[in-house]
Amino acid sequence: MAPAISLRSAVALSGGFPVLAGVDLDLDAGQVLALLGSNGAGKTSLLRLLAGLLPLRSGEAVVLGCELPDGAAELRRQVGLAGHDPGLYEELDARENLRFALRAARLDPAGADAALERVGLEGRAVATPLGLLSEGQRRRVALAWLAARRPALWLLDEPHAGLDASTRHLVGELCNEAARGGAVVVLSSHEPELAVSLADTVVTMGGGAVIDTSRGRRDAAGVTDVA
């Protein structure tokens, strides 16, 4: 069976600069990959390439059966990306944001409440405009969107940054659930211990390329304790 993600000498530019300088990567469905590396190493750029948001300049990239760059539009429909900025609408509350996103993705908007409950957002927090929520609560809304959408490819850009212990634990649970359901999870992190405990494979990046690959300690059968 072909890997869910297959990159060969993938190069991508941003503003004329090479942000990915020949990345090779293979990942199967149901796996969790952690990306490590210093700032500017290319982690976020790789996530954006995998989301079909950053054009492939040269090399080969096949993600979820979509050949990039031509299949980018088709790929995006299968991808969920939670970045530093959740990319949601500040003026709408959590429920309105989720219902809009679910309708746009042609899913049942009724799933919004269950997803918000799943990430521990209830009561007033659900009906408060996103702009008035704390950073952690906004991150929870972004996670709720992923949980509701259940994409085939989860891309999480530093999902643990600035979060409390319970939300970190929630990130781990959701990653495991998604992988057990057959999705591919790729997350970037500046916390090696945490990332290694969550992942099957750990890739260290530097200068826009993969400089090291090692095995993670994820227990696919159970929920990894990341708190």
Please identify which residue in the block is written with the tokens 């096949």: 62
98-137 mask for another protein (x: CB under 8 A)?
A: --xx-xxxx----------------------x--------
Out of 91, 117, 193, 225, point to the residue binding another protein (CB under 8 A). Answer: 91
150 binds another protein (CB under 8 A): no
Rounded least distance, CB 189 to another protein, Å: 19
Q: Considering beta carbons, is residue 132 or 227 the nearer one to another protein? A: 132
Q: Considering beta carbons, is residue 48 or 160 the nearer one to another protein? A: 48
Q: Number of residues interacting with another protein: please give it, by CB under 8 A.
A: 25
Half-sphere exposure of 180 (CA within 13 A, CB side): 14
Q: Considering beta carbons, is residue 105 or 223 the nearer one to another protein? A: 105
Stretch that binds another protein, among 12-20, 27-35, 91-99, 163-171 (CB under 8 A): 91-99
Helix, strand, coil content of the chain in percent (nearest 5):
35, 30, 40
Please identify which residue in the block is written with the tokens 């304790």: 225
Question: What are 60's two structure tokens?
Answer: 């080969």
96 binds another protein (CB under 8 A): yes
Q: Please state, in angstroms and as integers, the Cα–Cα distance from residue 149 to each residue in 15, 57, 107, following that order.
A: 32, 30, 8
State the sign of the Cα–Cα–Cα–Cα dihedral 193, 36, 142, 144: negative
Please state the φ and ψ torsions of residue 218, each to the nearest 5 degrees.
-65, 135
Q: Considering beta carbons, is residue 95 or 218 the nearer one to another protein? A: 95
Of 120, 113, 225, which Cα lies nearest the Cα of 176?
225
Q: Considering beta carbons, is residue 37 or 80 the nearer one to another protein? A: 80
Residues at the interface with another protein (CB under 8 A): 48, 51, 53, 76-77, 79-81, 83-89, 91-92, 96, 100-101, 103-106, 129
